[in-house]
Amino acid sequence: MKRKLLFLLGIAILLISTTSAKKVHTLGDSTMAHYNENVTNTRGWGMYFGHFLTNGWTSVNYAKGGRDSRGGFNELWQNAKNNVEAGDYVLIQFAHNDGKYRGIDNLELQEYYTANGDAANAAAVKKDGRGTTPSTTYKECLKQIVDAVREKGATPILVSAVCRCYFSGSTITRAGRHDLGDKYDALVNGEYKTALAIGADDHTMDYSYHMRQLATELNVQFIDMTTATRNLYESYGTYDKCYAALFDKGATKDNTHYNLTGALSAARLCAQLLKEAGILTDAIEIPRDLAISPSTGDMGDVYVGQWGMKELTLTGLGLEPATGNIRMTASEGILLSTDKHNWTDILEATYENETVIKTFYAKVAATAAGKFCGTVTATIGDKTAVAKLTMNAIGLGDGAPFTVSWPLTSNDEAAVQGSANATAVKVEGMVKDGNNATNGIMVSTSEGGAWVKAEDDSPNQYVQFCIACPDGQQLDINHIAMQVGARGGNGMRCHVYYSTDGFKSRTALYDPASMTSNVMNDVVATPVVKLEEGDQLQIRVYPWHTGNATGKWLCIKDVKIGGQAKAN
């Protein structure tokens, strides 16, 4: 009898495992990464790829800004590998940060500077950590990922990088297509050669070309997003039209990162190319009618007294009539907005050319503990699209308040009130210039504040604040705040994130389009974070500079974390 029960149990487990949902994992850089819709207008196309999956397939996005193919294996794959199962697919996109040193590999450049006695530059390149050579180390790093994916029984797909919005007349330049052939650097017989050039038919410095070559060598399927996005951009006719339609319009021109329309368009392109190549054909659905994405949106946990918010996307292709208005209505308890300032329960979206791609927001007040369910409906003629929204409102309970603060005006130590553990500030890959009441701490990449031009944060340069939950306790965190600012000019930038898993995943708190020198900016967030004994909450500030510059600093002060502590 016992054997029969065990046999039946084994059959049941087998049936469950063989019918469980399969996943598409995405590894890549900032053009694919996830962004907090409540913090920034920047979007990565990996955020929306899952919108085109059906029949139980889901998408898991591990992409992060500033990562090249080496970081793709050393960090992103290490984060993903335990979640990748046999039968899954892994989309692999890198190139934007591989060209950090115009085609010179990071490790080779470190060796060059070290051999020539330039310890400062060797250290700076090591701290940055990015950069590969297209025909050699780029392919080697990609191969590491491909081999590791196959070892898990999953299917790797090499996806060439989306183009940058670099136009010459009405066409995308070589550099925009990740081909450095018009201007690249190289180490030749021990000499650092700069501004080299090769003919247009020479693909030696073309990252996308070498990804395709590797795909052929390894018998891996290749998706040419470089050509697809080039065609998309050029269809707009001019740089100005393409940039206005697809790219994030911050205080300075950003020719790399997408807005919602760009990210959604790129995700749709990738899904379409996969389907056309016979990959995941039963798992991909390309809607051509009216739709709201996501069709099921979870606002997650929200403390009572706060608001839950969700970004939604209204899309329609081939609409009739060709020009018109779409009416969006919300069920009781949901308010709608297009700008996150003016809220109502009814919106109208105007469209033309048979097409609409419109972002809007829904919010719900957490007035009492419990589960909220509601709907948003879009209607045009006899066509209707519905999105279901959920939210879980939770109370803080009757715990004792706690606060951890780092004033940073005289030292790096944390002041703790209540039950929590905290550590001193950690400065990784940079130097710190003292503490004072005006600036808190000031950090830069080296003495004198020298920065190398960048368009995103480096994974190896950050300032970290950390608290841990004491034994026998539970921490409910609902407040994070700090002040950040720039000194020495307006070119400083930073991202602020928090994480509870050692930065395998992260949530954005702050992503400014610009930073005015000598102005401290308030960063305030009301997250829902629960820590059990031994768990940690880490907050990191990642700075960078938009140009090659000296005497530039990022300042941080008055960092605070608060909530309630209770016996576990």
pLDDT in tens, 198-230: 999 999 999 999 999 999 999 999 999 999 999
CA distance 361 to 384: 18
Strands of 289-430, DSSP E: 291-293, 296-303, 307-317, 324-330, 334-337, 346-351, 355-365, 370-380, 383-394, 400-406, 415-417, 421-422, 426-428
CA distance 44 to 535: 29
Query: What is the full DSSP assignment across 532-568?
Result: ETT-EEEEEEEEEESSSBSS-EEEEEEEEEEEEEEE-
Q: What is the pLDDT of residue 447?
A: 63
Residue at 245: amino acid letter? A
pLDDT in tens, 441-465: 999 987 667 888 888 888 889 999 9
Q: What is the pLDDT of residue 17?
A: 40
Distance of CA 167 to the CA centre of its chain: 25
pLDDT in tens, 359-374: 899 999 999 999 999 9
Which band of pLDDT confidence, cut at 50, 70 and 90, is reported for residue 13?
very low
Q: What is the pLDDT of residue 252?
A: 64
Gyration radius from the chain CA atoms? 25
Q: What is the pLDDT of residue 5?
A: 40
CA distance 162 to 325: 32
Cβ atoms of 450 and 123 within 8 Å: the answer is no
Q: What is the pLDDT of residue 7?
A: 41
According to the 3-state scheme, what is the secondary structure of 401-433?
EEEEEECCCCCCCCEEECCCEECCCEEECCEEE
Q: What is the pLDDT of residue 433?
A: 87
Q: Average of pLDDT values for 419-440?
A: 93
Residue at 193: amino acid letter? K
Cβ atoms of 382 and 289 within 8 Å: the answer is no
Q: What is the pLDDT of residue 499?
A: 97
Cβ atoms of 175 and 183 within 8 Å: the answer is yes
Cβ atoms of 157 and 89 within 8 Å: the answer is yes
Distances (CA, A) of 396 to 304, 461, 474, 480, 554: 8, 35, 11, 15, 35
Is residue 3 scored above 80 in pLDDT? no
Cβ atoms of 517 and 443 within 8 Å: the answer is no
Distance of CA 507 to the CA centre of its chain: 9
Q: What is the pLDDT of residue 16?
A: 39
Measured in degrees and rounded to the nearest 5, phi and psi for residue 173 equal: -75, 170
Residues of the chain above pLDDT 70, percent: 95
Is residue 237 scored above 80 in pLDDT? yes
pTM of the model: 0.81
Q: What is the pLDDT of residue 345?
A: 92
CA distance 121 to 344: 55
CA distance 472 to 159: 47
pLDDT, greater one: 226 or 2: 226
Q: What is the pLDDT of residue 448?
A: 65
Tell me the torsion sign for CA atoms 204, 239, 35, 351: negative
Which band of pLDDT confidence, cut at 50, 70 and 90, is reported for residue 425?
very high
pLDDT in tens, 86-145: 999 999 999 999 999 999 999 999 999 999 999 989 988 998 899 999 999 999 999 999
Q: What is the pLDDT of residue 358?
A: 86
Directed axis angle between helix 239-246 and helix 225-234, to 10°? 110
Q: Average of pLDDT values for 519-541?
A: 95
pLDDT in tens, 358-416: 889 999 999 999 999 999 999 998 889 999 999 999 988 788 999 999 999 999 999 99
Query: What are the structure tokens assigned to 496, written together?
Result: 């602020």
Which band of pLDDT confidence, cut at 50, 70 and 90, is reported for residue 72?
very high
Mean pLDDT, the chain, whole residue set: 92
pLDDT in tens, 262-295: 999 999 999 999 999 999 999 999 877 888 988 8
Q: What is the pLDDT of residue 351?
A: 85
CA distance 296 to 375: 9
Is residue 250 scored above 80 in pLDDT? no
Which band of pLDDT confidence, cut at 50, 70 and 90, is reported for residue 39?
confident
Query: What is the full DSSP assignment across 249-266?
Result: --SS--SS-B-HHHHHHH
Q: What is the pLDDT of residue 141?
A: 98
